[in-house]
Amino acid sequence: MLNGEIAMNTIKITLAATTTALLILIACGGAGYKAGKSDISEKDIAKKIKETADKDLESNDVSNDDNFIIDVRDGQRYRTVRIGELTWMAENLNYETDSSWCSDYDDEVSCQKYGRLYNWNAALAACPAGWRLPVREDWDDLIDAAGGLDVAGEALKSTSEWRDSEIEYYRTNPRNGTDVLGFSAIPGGLRTAGGFYDAGSSTACGCCGGTGYWWSAADLARNYAQSWNMHSLDERVNEGRNNKNIGMSVRCVRGREESIVQERIIWPAPDTSTFIDPRDGQTYRTVKIGTQTWMAENLNFNADGSACYADNAPNCEFYGRLYDWATVMNGAPSSSAAPSGVQGVCPDGWHIPSDAEWDILVRYVDRYVDQNFKSDRSSVGSIAGQKLQARDSWASGGVGCDEFYFSALGGGSGSGDRSHSNRWRVGGGIGLSGYWWSTTEDDTDNAWCRHMLWDVSNVRRLATVKTHLFSVRCVRP
């Protein structure tokens, strides 16, 4: 360069008519600049531009094919990339607003690396002037450009950072992307509606390094909005629906503004129905998940040997009854078949699920569970529980998003021994813990069950004594 001149293709300054915000788009490349929040004058902006460009030249990291912007609200710099008709930020937004957070319990270091997490309403207004939260059409076009839902994650994910330091499989089998389009998706995790940060691999929906979630501007029915996510263990991009109070990453986009309108779409209705138990007239919601049809409520048939949690009848009305294994089986022998063939305490046309049938359900709702299963098939690291648990019906709101309308409830558990000093504290209390029997024995004294906790996203497989009192879900092919 002669006389220290800075190589730039273009400098474009856009002044919004109704705001004093100044957005500067510079066609040059280099390492990202991150600054703290401050009020910045045009003179300061020009200085930052020159300092950043000089730094890029010194590091030989200049490309006339890459763009970046400086957000004058706080001085932070973001790389941008043109994909099709749109220009995307190639980094997660890190502008501080109300209802935005840093991952790992507001650790500022996480913000600098992964950007901030925003609830949906904050995300709608978070992008700088001239930019916006992408709508469904924008995400569809991006995913199509990257090869379609099944493989787009590989093309969009960054070439590093996709891992989970707490699970051996993630550490030894990272699924970084090729980043061929320059989108550089990084995994910032999420913040649950209850205020929990997914910094641990067994919490809902992943963690920093394992999972990335991004909001769409599409408003769904009820208090939900559309989102998109990518995971460490495969190459897919997944569409989701999430409570608007969850904190997720934001990618801003520009272009095609004249044709964009606020979206409100209705999530496809699940294949649900109702069933009336002719034995007592009780009505149960049912839902088809894959090839199985499940009762979407815990069984509440008053069989001999069953009980309400804490012997309190209102608990049965909401959480269903609790049964020991002998009552569940109603004289039938153990079965590991799928379907089990054991009607047990279920009504005609329904049966108690075997251990294998529970496996089918868990594997259907969380395709990563195969890699995460331990020798006892406890789905550590999986998000099957988060997908199956009912919303807002567990302690502190729980972690459930009930994606498949299975609506698992924490019905608690108990000891079949009425003289037990802590009869209703065995395995966890109501709203905190849920257990469901299978037809499959482990040995003479123990049978397999499934277990979910209020603050954990997995589904555990446990062998436990047959005299414990657990919930029942009936199923049919």
Rg value, the chain, Cα: 26
Of 66-70, 206-210, 394-398, which range is least confident?
A: 206-210
* Cα gap 299→283, rounded to integer Å: 10
Quick one: which of 424, 434, 427, 430 has its CA closest to 456?
434
Please, are residues 24 and 45 in contact by the beta-carbon 8 Å criterion? yes
Question: How do residues 82-122 score in pLDDT, each as one tens digit?
Answer: 999 999 999 999 999 999 999 766 678 889 999 999 999 99
What's the pLDDT score for residue 400? 81
**Span 313-318, mean pLDDT?**
92
* Cα gap 288→268, rounded to integer Å: 14
**Span 322-343, mean pLDDT?**
98
Question: How do residues 133-146 score in pLDDT, each as one tens digit?
Answer: 999 899 999 999 99
What's the pLDDT score for residue 258? 61
Please, are residues 438 and 361 in contact by the beta-carbon 8 Å criterion? no
Question: Residue 256 pLDDT more than 80?
Answer: yes
Residue that wins the pLDDT comparison between 96 and 394: 96
What's the pLDDT score for residue 122? 96
**Span 264-271, mean pLDDT?**
60
Query: Could you give phi then psi for residue 91, rounded to 5 degrees?
Result: -145, 155
Residue that wins the pLDDT comparison between 416 and 427: 416
* Cα gap 42→44, rounded to integer Å: 5
What's the pLDDT score for residue 344? 98
- The first and second tokens of residue 356, run together, are 């294998």
Question: Residue 404 pLDDT more than 50?
Answer: yes
What's the pLDDT score for residue 422? 73
Question: Residue 161 pLDDT more than 90?
Answer: no
* Cα gap 298→67, rounded to integer Å: 55
Please, are residues 122 and 285 in contact by the beta-carbon 8 Å criterion? no
What's the pLDDT score for residue 180? 95
Q: Which uninterrupted H or E stretch holds 358?
A: helix 355-365
Exposure b/e, 281-301, CB count within 10 A at least 16 = b = ebebebbebeebbbbbbbbbb
Quick one: which of 219, 217, 216 has its CA closest to 264?
219
What's the pLDDT score for residue 173? 59
Question: How do residues 302-313 score in pLDDT, each as one tens digit?
Answer: 999 999 999 999
* Cα gap 12→15, rounded to integer Å: 10
- The first and second tokens of residue 261, run together, are 């309108």
**Span 162-191, mean pLDDT?**
75
Residue that wins the pLDDT comparison between 376 and 360: 360
Contacts 24+ apart (CB under 8 A), 417-421: 417/467
Unique residue bearing structure tokens 């930020």 = 89
What is the overall mean pLDDT for the chain? 78
Residue 349 exposed, middle or buried by CB count within 10 Å (0-12, 13-18, 19+): exposed
Of 85-99, 383-397, 458-472, which range is least confident?
A: 383-397
Question: Residue 53 pLDDT more than 50?
Answer: no
Q: Tell me the residue length of the chain.
A: 477
H helix runs in 129-198, sequence order: 136-145, 152-156, 168-172
Residue that wins the pLDDT comparison between 150 and 289: 289
* Cα gap 117→101, rounded to integer Å: 5
**Span 255-262, mean pLDDT?**
67
Question: How do residues 358-367 score in pLDDT, each as one tens digit?
Answer: 999 998 888 6
pTM, 2 dp? 0.54
Neighbouring C-beta atoms of residue 343, cutoff 10 Å: 16
Residue 16: pLDDT band by 50, 70, 90 thresholds?
Answer: very low
What's the pLDDT score for residue 221? 57
What's the pLDDT score for residue 9? 27
**Span 435-444, mean pLDDT?**
97
Neighbouring C-beta atoms of residue 454, cutoff 10 Å: 22
Residue that wins the pLDDT comparison between 20 and 308: 308
* Cα gap 397→192, rounded to integer Å: 9
Amino acid identity at 240 = G
